Amino acid sequence: MSEATRAWRTVLEKIEADLLDGRLGPGDRLPSERDLSAALGVGRSSVREALRVLEVMGLIRTGTGSGPHAGAIITATPRGGLSAVLRLQVAAHGFPLDDVVATRLVLETAVVDAVAAAVAATPHAGTSRATSDARVVLDAMERDDLTPGEFLALDAQLHLALAEASGNQVIAATMMGLRTAIESYVRAGAERIPDWDATSARLRAEHRALLDAVDAGDAALARALVHAHITGYYAEAGLARPSSRATSTRTSRETN
């Protein structure tokens, strides 16, 4: 391994370790390239290379220039192999938007159904905080210095945190793998929304209502809320209507 490769891997490993240990989390901004370079004893080019790798992995989003939106913000924590393979598939071929939305509806209604049902089955249903990780992300979304892109990256992380709370590793990995495709269409939709502040406030309120329903063990309400949340944004942003497959799948699930 060359000296240059060792240098950027040093940066990568340090940031990943901080993520895994909880010293960094969604919504946090990384130190500047200059500060990371000085702290780790590597060149700024090595820092930039490590940040590029982390961005490709979906762990950070970077902004150029100066000011409060410059630098890198944490949007996720490290995940494993299946999600990485699916992300590459998405990057190489893309997926039709209707298919992505239909898949979200199938996966996310199953997620909230599973988590809420598990809460309802516990002796202290209604006092659970099964959504604690998702609430940490939602708190980060309250910051008023987030760009729409940063807000939506955290939005994706919130939904992933819910998927992980379901305990279904395949669903969680699939959600992570689809994250790039999901972020792509929600960012495109944000550009069509005339009053982003109002929309982001509504999205936060919808998230809180959804998490409250899950923590109360109300699976039926949670399913209805997550469906309305996903399709509502889809419609508000002026994107194509969800395919009939999404609706028929949801109807079949709710009547079985």
pLDDT, tens digit (0-9, with 9 covering 90-100), for 212-246: 999 999 999 999 999 999 999 989 988 755 444 44
pLDDT of residue 249: 45
Q: Supply 82's token pair.
A: 């299946």
Mean per-residue pLDDT, 136-163 = 92
* Average pLDDT of the residues in 158-187: 86
pLDDT at 251: 44
What distance in Å separates the CA atoms of residue 53 and residue 66, rounded to the nearest whole number? 22
Domain with CATH 1.10.10.10 in the chain: 3-74
- Topology (CATH level 3) of domain 3-74: Arc Repressor Mutant, subunit A (1.10.10)
Which residues, including other chains, have CB under 8 Å from residue 205's CB and lie 6 or more apart? none
Mean pLDDT of the chain: 82
CATH of 81-255 among 3.40.50.720, 1.20.120.530, 1.10.1330.10, 1.10.3720.10: 1.20.120.530
Q: Which of 27, 217, 5 lies closest to 112, judged by CA?
A: 217
Candidate from 10-24, 132-146, 225-239 with smallest mean pLDDT: 10-24
Asked whether residue 155 carries a pLDDT value surpassing 50, the answer given is yes
Query: What span, in angstroms and rounded, lies between the C-alpha atoms of 1 and 207?
Result: 46
pTM beyond 0.85: the answer is no
